[in-house]
Structure 1
Amino acid sequence: MEAVLGRGEFCYVASVTRHGPHVTPMVFALAGGRVWVTTSRGSVKARAWRLDPSVAGLVRAGDVSVAFTGTVRTFDLLEVDSWVRDLFEAPALAVASTRFTRKNARFFAGYAVDARHVPLSWTPPGRVFTAIELERVAVVDASGVAETFGEWPRALTSVPRFRATRAGTGPLEGLPDDVRSPLGESGEGALALEGPDGSVVLPAGWTAQGGGLYAALAREALELAGLPEATSRAAFAIDRPSWWRARNMTGAMVRGTGEVVVPEALVSGAASASRIARAAGVTHAAAAVVRLRAEQLVWWRGWSSGTVAVA
């Protein structure tokens, strides 16, 4: 687990909002058994954490990923009421800050290059340092779940019949051209699903076909979401990150509902669902597909971002 967290470049963190999970990539570091991230004080995540500190996350390192759930604890110099509490955490904060800076040094170099363009919210005075206390952890690979820590539900319900969405506007057509084009028509993403035990974030391949957007992964991995019904509130993050320059990062989050499709559980449409799984890069015999029905598209490119409602 620690090896994966050490090699991973980004952590896809999902927060709880009234619209369902909100998942985006963040730079991070592991220190003291906690995952440390930083975000703008006024960001959606920071506002969500004030209401509900529950989070889920995903870190990829090649073909192996670590999915986790936990609770956030923020450290904000502008919150006077927290100064006494933070004083007791000073040694841990010092270690975490050092590791965070060392692990993400290339991004700090990128900020230096783009110093005149970096918004205040992206600079240290505008951000809060956050620790995620890990409660459940699962190591996931292409074949399914390799190892778990903590109690994970193992439930999954599929729709009985499936027909691919062939007509309609492309699922990413609402995005600006300079965001949609780099994302392409398939790739890897982070799938956040809201279950009865909270949200989880899982590694998934994806493909856009006709009017449909689909995520695919091993059925065993999808069972970690513990979904008692075939539909769930969902979010899917797709991005093209830069190795060192935040200004060049491009991505989108699709928010709405996810419809679980397990080919081997279908009365009809199994062949079509299996073809979609393969198109998304998942060749495992026990694959599962989640059809994403978008209600909202959130996009980012460098310092700019926006939201598009889907009719």
Structure 2
Amino acid sequence: MSFVSTAVQRVLEDGQFCAVAAATPNGPHCTPLVFAYSGARLWLTTSRGSVKARAWRVDRSTAGLIRDGDLSVAFTGTVKTYDALDKRTWGAAVAGATSIARATAGFSRKNARFFAGYAFDARQVPFAWTPPGRVFVGVDLERTALLDDEGVQEGRGRWRGEPVSHGAFRRSSTGPDPLAVLPNDVASQIGREGRGALAVAGERGPTVLPIRWRAEATTLYAALPAQTLAIAAADRDATVALTVDSPSAWRARDMVGAMFQGIAEFFVEGTVGSGAKAMRGIVQGLAPSADALVRITPRRVVWWKGWTSGSTIPG
């Protein structure tokens, strides 16, 4: 995509983190990364051995979400990796040397404070987080959508789909606390509600959407406009990854977050019959302008705190 609107470009240039998703056998895998926008491409880095890097060797499609204030840009695209240790990428690196050099300079400039944090913590930084352990990734944008709390403000590319919903809703009253599997210090820092990113597996691959989330005593919920949900082109049940975090503007060691991979059920106002009042009450408590509710049943939970991370299967 060689052209984006001024509003989309502003978000791509000014947003601080990008929630980036890749398709995996466990469903979408979505975590936040620093990035830069240069030469009509998004640029980011990831560990050579990361889940995303491995997934992109099989399927080069990706999706992501960038927030800036009240606006978000959801995108899909195709990745091209540049790895000094992988000779298969050398030809592309030579051919694109000028654009890569420009992107590298822009990436370093935009994320200078973050890299200053690396220098401050140099003795503690694991190899996978240092330049020799990482690959540079360019994302060719194929579709973009400008989103806010009301829904889709602008779309480019072939977005299509209608919000699909279960016809009845019943509030969950049994089950474990969805945050109980997290280390206490991680759970306390992310809290029990807030903004998040929901990667949804749809008919054209993953799409990452901005949501408001809440962990109730036995259930994990998210709310968003039905119009926004529609661009994911998903069925009424879909594999998802809910990503929530407490980011740090300049120190990777202070970043804390969790990703809940599992199955989501979708409920849209006007489509739900039985239980509509209860469903609407939850949505209103989360996001007054939303009209779609997502109930997530986690099957796998990944967490991170600084350089440390782990995963667990909820009991």
Which category describes the TM-score, using the shorter chain as reference length?
A: over 0.9
Query: Partner of 2:254 in structure 1?
Result: 248
Counterparts of 1:306 and 1:291, CA distance in 2: 24
Q: Are the aligned partners of 2:81 and 2:89 in contact in 1 as well (CA < 8 Å)?
A: no
Q: 2:282 — aligned with what?
A: 276
1:97 is paired with a residue whose SS is helix
Q: Is the 8 A contact 2:80 2:139 kept in 1?
A: yes
Partners of 2:54 and 2:89 lie apart in 1 by: 17
Asked if 2 retains the 8 angstrom alpha-carbon contact of 1:118 and 1:303, the reply is yes
**Which residues in structure 2 correspond to 1:263-302 (within 5 Å)?**
263-280=269-286, 282-284=287-289, 287-302=291-306
- Does the 8 Å contact 2:165/2:266 carry over to 1? yes
Structure 1 residue 271 displacement after superposition: 1.6
Return 5+ residue gaps in structure 2 as ranges.
1-7
Residues 4 and 61, structure 1, Cα contact 8 Å, conserved in 2: yes
Q: Which amino acid aligns with 2:174?
A: A
Give how far 1:84 is off.
2.5
2:22 is the alignment partner of 1:15: yes
Aligned with 1:158: secondary structure? coil
2:212 aligned residue: 205
- Superposition map of 1:70-81 within 5 A: 70-81=77-88
In structure 1, distance between residues paired with 2:224 and 2:91:
45
1:86-107 Cα distance to aligned partner (Å, 9 max, x none) = 1110000011000100000001
Q: Secondary structure of the equivalent of 2:29?
A: strand
Residue pairs, 1:257-268, within 5 angstroms: 257-268=263-274
Partner of 2:160: 153
Determine whether 1:127 maps to 2:134.
yes
Aligned residue number for residue 6 of structure 1 = 13
Aligned pair 1:186/2:193, yes or no? Answer: yes
State which of 20, 30, 38 in structure 1 corresponds to 2:37. Answer: 30
The CA deviation at 1:154 is 2.1
Counterpart selection for 1:53 from 54, 60, 73: 60
User: TM-score, normalization: structure 1?
Assistant: 0.97
Quote the Cα distance in structure 2 between the aligned partners of 1:26 and 1:70. Answer: 16
Q: What TM-score, normalized by structure 2, do the two folds share?
A: 0.96
In the TM superposition, structure 1's runs of 4+ consecutive aligned residues that sit over 2 Å from their partners are: none
Other-structure match for 2:74: 67
Answer yes or no: is the 8 Å Cα contact 2:258–2:304 preserved in 1: yes
The one-letter amino acid of 2:237's match is T
Paired AA for residue 109 in structure 1 = A
Partner residue in 2 for 1:304: 308
8 A contact 2:163–2:227 mirrored in 1: no
Counterpart code for 2:266: V
Distance in 2 (CA, whole Å) between partners of 1:26 and 1:32 is 19
Using the alignment, how far apart are the partners of 2:144 and 2:89 within structure 1? 29
Amino acid at match of 1:283: P
Cα deviation digits, residues 165-203 of structure 1 (max 9, x gap): 122211111000010111111100000000111110000
Give the alignment's Cα RMSD to 1 decimal.
0.9
Aligned to 2:5: none
CA distance in 1, matches of 2:94, 2:155: 34
May I ask how many residue pairs the two structures share in their alignment?
308
Deviations 1:190-234 (A, max 9, x none): 00000111110000000111201011101100000112x210011
Q: CA deviation at 1:302?
A: 0.1
Look up the SS of the partner of 1:225 in the other structure.
coil
After TM superposition, give the deviation of residue 279 of structure 1 in Å: 2.4
Q: Does the Cα contact within 8 Å between 2:302 and 2:309 map onto a contact in 1? A: yes
Q: Deviations over 1:222-271 (max 9, x none)?
A: 000112x2100110000000111000000000001110011321111112
> Deviation at 1:67?
0.1
